[in-house]
Amino acid sequence: MRGISLSRFLIDQQWQSEAIPSDLRLLIEVVARAIKAISINVGKGALAGVLGEAGTGNVQGEAQKKLDVIANEILLEANEWGGHLAAMASEEMEGPHSIPHRYPKGEYLLLFDPLDGSSNIDVNVSVGTIFSVLRCPEGCPADEKAFLQKGSSQVCAGFAVFGPSTVLVLTLGQGVHAFTLDREVGSFVLTQERIRIPEETREFAINMSNQRFWEPPVRRYVEELLAGKTGPRGKDFNMRWVGSMVADVFRILTRGGIFLYPRDTKDPGKPGRLRLMYEANPMAFIIEQAGGAATTGTGRILDVAPTELHQRVPVILGSRKEVQLVSGYHG
Ligand code: FDP
């Protein structure tokens, strides 16, 4: 279907299914507007002097890129005044960001990874923004505890990929849809409706350099893939690893595949690399809504009870049958 803008799509959804209250619709539009602004900044690259390190570190001790900081500020500023939010939380900030007193407050909580894959910025490879929307529990202060809800409570999740084109992927719990940014008009246009991930695949994504740190179930699974036609799987598999989760997940939504950032023994203090609240949960919601599956290896990602805002989890997601096979190896 062509020519339907994000605004029109959301309004149609609101009338058809009442799945979207009007304040949630407006919240999504504001997030989409911020994503457009981030896309413009990412697109300017070296011309605007936005590449390179910011010279600061985030709460997890990772060096921040200038664009990490810019994207974070764009999202904060865009979403502060709309009246839809009780608070925001981000990969780039230690604790929740309260809505300033001068602005009205709403019932939603917004979480985001402002620039996922930021180690790819300086080499001109796709990066993106991931976000998740929760409802603030009634009568509770919008503090860290309010954010610690299971992924299954998300009311909306999405991500944008800043690649050759800018694409916004969205779910409100009724399927997954993708919108491409029409740069001339400045609006997102519906380009893929009700995305379905093929159940089977011949493509996998994993950082092979971590192989020696993997646990036995993942070792076994990947060894079997690598054995190809002559191995137990009886077919050859291809590998892709962009190193930006947004790009790897978008590929899986488009043509199937499996993505693994499993638990490993590299750093015993970290049960995985990816963050639950603003990476794993929104991606798991989107993948499940597109007919795929998402697990930590031992359980559904959306059922993980969070204990910390910046908690990390193992992530295995994509084509349903492959994910089920790896889960089975975990016992
Ligand atoms: P990045 O740290 O560059 O933001 O969010 C974590 C992430 O990227 C994912 O987007 C990506 O899949 C992964 O880390 C890449 O990890 P490796 O460097 O280990 O490949």
Q: How many whole angstroms from 249 Cα to the centroid of ligand 1?
A: 12
Q: How many whole angstroms from 314 Cα to the centroid of ligand 1?
A: 13
- The residue whose CA has the least distance to atom 1 of ligand 1 is 117
Burial 251-282 (b: 16+ CB within 10 A, else e): bbbeebbbbbbbbbeeeeeeebbbbbbbbbbb
Ligand 1 near 119 CB (within 6 A): yes
Ligand 1 near 58 CB (within 6 A): no
With a cut of 70, list the residues of the chain below it in pLDDT. 1-2, 18-19
Ligand 1 near 207 CB (within 6 A): yes
Ligand 1 near 279 CB (within 6 A): yes
Distance CA 14, CA 5 (A): 14
Burial of 18 (0-12, 13-18, 19+ CB in 10 A): exposed
- The residue whose CA has the least distance to atom 12 of ligand 1 is 245
Q: What is the pLDDT of residues 138-166, one digit of tens each?
A: 988 999 999 999 999 999 999 999 999 99
Q: How many whole angstroms from 232 Cα to the centroid of ligand 1?
A: 30
The pLDDT of residue 2 is: 55
Ligand 1 near 128 CB (within 6 A): no
Q: How many whole angstroms from 308 Cα to the centroid of ligand 1?
A: 20
Q: How many whole angstroms from 242 Cα to the centroid of ligand 1?
A: 9
Angle at which helix 22-44 crosses helix 66-80, to 10 degrees, equals 150
- The residue whose CA has the least distance to atom 3 of ligand 1 is 117
Distance CA 43, CA 183 (A): 11
Distance CA 212, CA 254 (A): 30
Ligand 1 near 243 CB (within 6 A): yes
Ligand 1 near 165 CB (within 6 A): no
Q: How many whole angstroms from 245 Cα to the centroid of ligand 1?
A: 6
